[in-house]
Amino acid sequence: MNKLIEQLQRRPLPQKVAAILVLVVGMSVANYFLAIQPLDDSMTSLAKKQSELDLEYTQKKTIANNLNSYKQRLEKLEQDLALALTELPQDAQIDELLRQLNDVGKKAGLTITGVQPGDEGSGPQEFIAKIPIAMTVTGSYEEIAVFFESVSKLRRIVNINDISLGTPTTHNEKVVLAAKFQATTFRFRPQAAKPAAPKP
């Protein structure tokens, strides 16, 4: 190193200046590639990571802020499902329905003379099963009408169709007739509602 300095001192001034400039430029280039550029790359990487973390934090904060809203929506969906299963249960529950029809008939003043549940069939959609119940009742026009209206207000879906009214007769000063009809209820078939598995 001392020899280089001595040789540099013997050189003319322009050569000394050029040598010093080359040395300074070389040191600057080495400093950039060895120190500044790695630091710059590291800062860029950290800035990108910080941006990703900020985005993740914002998303999680939004979810946390809406957690109560999500819980309320879930509770509402569960209530809606419970209500839907009341209207369209998964099990036939025919005994329970017959009890309800009997109660409604008694309150309307009817005498139920016949009840015959039929075989389960296909409903309007493949995931809905249809269960017909043939019924025969006796009572006045008004009592039969009240019965039909009360059935329409049951939680479970029950359709009345194929109504046939007999000849009116008088019984204890009351006009009475026999009515035959079909009360059709439905049930949900969850297996039929599931989407078919994709073919391999």
Does some domain include residue 49? no
Cα separation, 126 vs 159, in Å, equals: 18
pLDDT, average across residues 51-69: 82
pLDDT tier at 178, thresholds 50, 70, 90: very high
Phi, psi of 183 (to 5 degrees): -95, 115
Phi, psi of 94 (to 5 degrees): -65, -40
Q: What is the pLDDT of residues 6-51, one digit of tens each?
A: 666 666 767 666 767 777 777 776 666 677 777 777 778 888 888 8
Does some domain include residue 176? yes
- For the chain, the average pLDDT equals 80
pLDDT at 186: 86
pLDDT at 101 > cutoff 90: yes
pLDDT tier at 105, thresholds 50, 70, 90: very high
Does some domain include residue 68? no
Residue ranges making up the domain that contains 174:
91-191
64-78, 120-134, 184-198: the lowest-pLDDT one: 184-198
Stated pTM of the model = 0.53
Query: Helices then strands (H, E): number in the chain?
Result: 7, 6
Q: Please report the beta strands in the chain, taking only residues with DSSP state E, as ranges in sequence order.
A: 111-117, 121-122, 128-139, 158-165, 169-171, 174-188
pLDDT at 115: 92
pLDDT at 94 > cutoff 80: yes
Does some domain include residue 64? no
pLDDT at 158 > cutoff 70: yes
Does some domain include residue 144? yes
What b/e string do you get for 14-34 counting C-beta neighbours within 10 Å, with b at 16 or more?
eeeeeeeeeeeeeeeeeeeee
Does some domain include residue 33? no
pLDDT at 148 > cutoff 90: yes
Does some domain include residue 179? yes
pLDDT at 199 > cutoff 60: no
Residue 137: what residue type?
A: V
Helix (H) or strand (E) holding 24: helix 13-31
Does some domain include residue 167? yes
pLDDT at 106: 93
Residue 116: which CATH number?
3.30.70.60
Q: How many structural domains are present in the chain? A: 1
